[in-house]
Structure 1
């Protein structure tokens, strides 16, 4: 069904708003500009999952980015699976990007070469400014690329505090202790503290972790596990374990002391049974002064994530990624969120892309559509006026993330 006049009016008003993009994986622009790009750059991220589920082999998928293979040959590998995934939300963002930036109305046998040529021609310094700032009105994008050296004030880094405690090799190579000699659990925690202080001084505004089935932290058990790993390079701990529980808890405490937001991946990814948002409840209870940014609305556990926002003052709900997982889900989630949580708790958009910066625009179009649909329905029911609805969009796109992350914009 085509949007009606009210939805179009809401969409157009949102298109004029300044935006804070609440989650990306964009690295420094030079990484993009120095890369070879073509049509398959638009399929280098989440569409990988759809292609593999549709039957494409992993080697064939990897070959799509192999520029030693002729473009025509790569297209022939891709074409059968494109017909299966092109109607999904992931693919739609690519189509919207191709239309907006390269004047290509469809990606098909007749256009893939021209699209590739135009992408190569446009892959020049300033592409972030042209796509993010000029086209999307994004004034800041919170990004997680594993570095604070992002090359532009447009990108605001968040840094990882993931702890792979399965072996000493993994644990001793975590970013927070890289190039640091650690001989005890206390040494390790101090290294984490130095890491958090350092990345904050370099511009990081938050820390990133994942929702796992964490146990109650116990320092003695964690120290015993640490010492055992350090003494035996062949030792392998199950996951979760007391060491991971303790380190994750300490990272939250340190980040909170330093005024850092704790961003949390919840829901869909890999074996997503391990990423249920409800795993975070003990952390939310222990760290009442922390600020938790709960990503992806916990999909597929949307209502569980919503109830975290309903029940915990230290939780914010982030709709990053949601609009390209499923627009139907995002619409339903936003509609229920309005019923359930204070409007100050909603962060409405994060593109969640890395190399294909153009798709941020495609995702943003879809987000605006979803928001317009939800708010128009409420306006028609007499629950809210159009001016009140637009005030909410300003809060969700700008005020809330600015306040949560204390951004100086």
Structure 2
């Protein structure tokens, strides 16, 4: 039988705790105000992959956001697929957010119009302040919007609670002369050699630091393996020079390019180079591992064990390894237990599966030193889902800690201290914010 007094004491201690959110993709609020915000906006991120997996066609999905189609017709397209994904944690987060933020107990044919109107009304107030600060008690957030599709203004946001995250994938993942031309135009430079290219990276680091970036994020797992082998400057130069020998530069829509396998030595060299630059500036390095958003991703590329050589070589780098490595969570737990410079980050996992989040967190608590665990990152484009995610994460943490106290694993005081560390103090210390 559950000890209600103890359970409530733990829940009431955890619920109001401040949060350090290690990962979001929130566009500028002014840009959000310029978008059409109806019910389907709430299903435009993670639930979209479940809708696709359930059988919804891409054309039908795109029609949900076609404002020239009456909303009732779009609901008719949406509803049968909605019924198929109501069971997933992705959808549960959306529904929890709708209930708490808009007072709508159930999303159905009688409430979707009301919800759409209430979403539009959020444009009239400082909605981010209300959701992120008042409702979620997020004190600091690492916001990654650079090179993200669907976000127009990718400059750092002028919010005291947000820290900008830098990304170099557009520079690392070149494959043809069109990419070189694009970067020359973007940065007003001439690139003739790898030396020129490295000078550009140096310049971008310097300018990024001046404009507020303080963290490096590597998301190349979406495109290739995260096995970044040691590569010499000579071998990298050979690959780089081969790009300049390609014949077609985009004339008549023909572009010659190097394959992923051909490019790997150059990309590996560049990843090592930007990590070294991040270390010189004392920037922590975030790396995507595990599950890939969307459909048809190759998760075999994302095993955190591929990163072992980086952890060994760059001992002065603070590596924040994302998404609990899932489905390679036990591997990442083993790595985080062994390496002082590797931190275990649960961002996104509370949305993937509630039970998965609880079970991995339980294993991490029993295995990894407590200062190495980061319990929350929403990883959302949709601010309402950030609220739903932190609420659910705190509920799961409270339930797990109640169990650990009941079993005698923790005292009440130690359980509460642990919750505060994994929700706020641990990432705050690594990212050196106050």
Q: TM-score range by the shorter chain?
A: over 0.9
Q: 1:135 matched to which residue of 2? A: 135
Q: 1:259 matched to which residue of 2? A: 282
Q: String of CA shifts for 1:142-182, please: whole Å, max 9, x gaps.
A: 11011343132222110112221333333654699744322
TM alignment of 1:236-315, pairs within 5 A: 236-239=258-261, 241-269=264-292, 270-315=297-342
Larger mean CA deviation between 227-236 and 244-253 belongs to: 227-236
Q: 1:153 matched to which residue of 2? A: 160
Equivalents in 1 of 2:185, 2:288: separation in Å? 19
SS of residue matched to 2:260: coil
Contact 2:180–2:191 (Cα < 8 Å) also in 1:
no
How far 1:18 moved relative to its partner? 1.4
1:215 aligns with 2:226: no
1:360 aligns with 2:386: yes
TM alignment of 1:31-50, pairs within 5 A: 31-50=31-50
Contact 1:378–1:384 (Cα < 8 Å) also in 2:
yes
Question: Residues 2 and 237 (structure 1 numbering): CA distance in 2 closer, same or farther, change over 3 Å?
Answer: farther
Length-normalised TM-score, structure 2: 0.90
Equivalents in 2 of 1:107, 1:254: separation in Å? 49
Q: 2:356 matched to which residue of 1? A: 329
Contact 1:266–1:295 (Cα < 8 Å) also in 2:
yes
Equivalents in 2 of 1:262, 1:196: separation in Å? 13
Q: String of CA shifts for 1:55-81, please: whole Å, max 9, x gaps.
A: 000111111122121111111111001
Q: Which ranges of structure 1 fall in alignment gaps of 5 or more residues?
A: none
Q: String of CA shifts for 1:240-296, please: whole Å, max 9, x gaps.
A: 610001000100000110111100110111211111111111111121111110010
Question: Residues 3 and 257 (structure 1 numbering): CA distance in 2 closer, same or farther, change over 3 Å?
Answer: farther
Q: 1:111 matched to which residue of 2? A: 111
1:225 to 239, 247, 262: 239
Equivalents in 2 of 1:24, 1:406: separation in Å? 18
Equivalents in 1 of 2:136, 2:3: separation in Å? 21
TM alignment of 1:93-112, pairs within 5 A: 93-112=93-112
Larger mean CA deviation between 136-145 and 202-211 belongs to: 202-211
Equivalents in 2 of 1:95, 1:175: separation in Å? 46
2:415 to 389, 398, 408: 389
Q: 2:208 matched to which residue of 1? A: 199
SS of residue matched to 1:349: coil
Question: Residues 321 and 5 (structure 1 numbering): CA distance in 2 closer, same or farther, change over 3 Å?
Answer: farther
Equivalents in 1 of 2:333, 2:181: separation in Å? 36
CA RMSD of aligned residues (A): 1.9
